[in-house]
Amino acid sequence: MKRVFYLIAVLLLVLPATGCEGSVFEAFEDLEIKLAPIEDISVMMLTSDPPQIQVYLKGGLADSCTTFHDLKTERSVSTFQITVTVQRPRDAVCAQVYSTFERFENLGSDFAPGETYTVHVNDRTTSFVMPQ
Quote the pLDDT of residue 3.
60
Q: Is 11 domain-assigned? A: no
Distance of CA 5 to the CA centre of its chain: 37
Quote the pLDDT of residue 132.
82
Quote the pLDDT of residue 22.
43
Which 3 state secondary structure label does DSSP give 2? helix
Range of 123's domain? 30-129
Q: Is 23 domain-assigned? A: no
Q: Is 113 domain-assigned? A: yes
Q: Is 7 domain-assigned? A: no
Question: Which has the higher per-residue pLDDT, 19 or 127?
Answer: 127
Q: Is 118 domain-assigned? A: yes
Q: Is 8 domain-assigned? A: no
The candidate with the shortest Cα–Cα distance to 68, out of 52, 54, 85, 56, is 85
Handedness of CA 30, 35, 39, 43 (dihedral sign): positive
H or E element in which residue 4 lies: helix 2-17
Give the whole-angstrom CA distance, residue 117 versus residue 128: 5
What are the pLDDT digits (tens) for 1-56? 556 444 454 444 444 444 444 444 444 569 999 999 999 999 999 998 889 999 99
Q: Is 24 domain-assigned? A: no
What are the pLDDT digits (tens) for 53-101? 999 999 999 999 999 999 999 999 999 999 999 999 999 999 999 999 9
Which 3 state secondary structure label does DSSP give 31? strand
Q: Work out how many domains the chain is built from and give that number.
A: 1
Q: Is 9 domain-assigned? A: no
Q: Dihedral through CA 60, CA 62, CA 68, CA 74, nearest 10?
A: -50
Quote the pLDDT of residue 113.
94
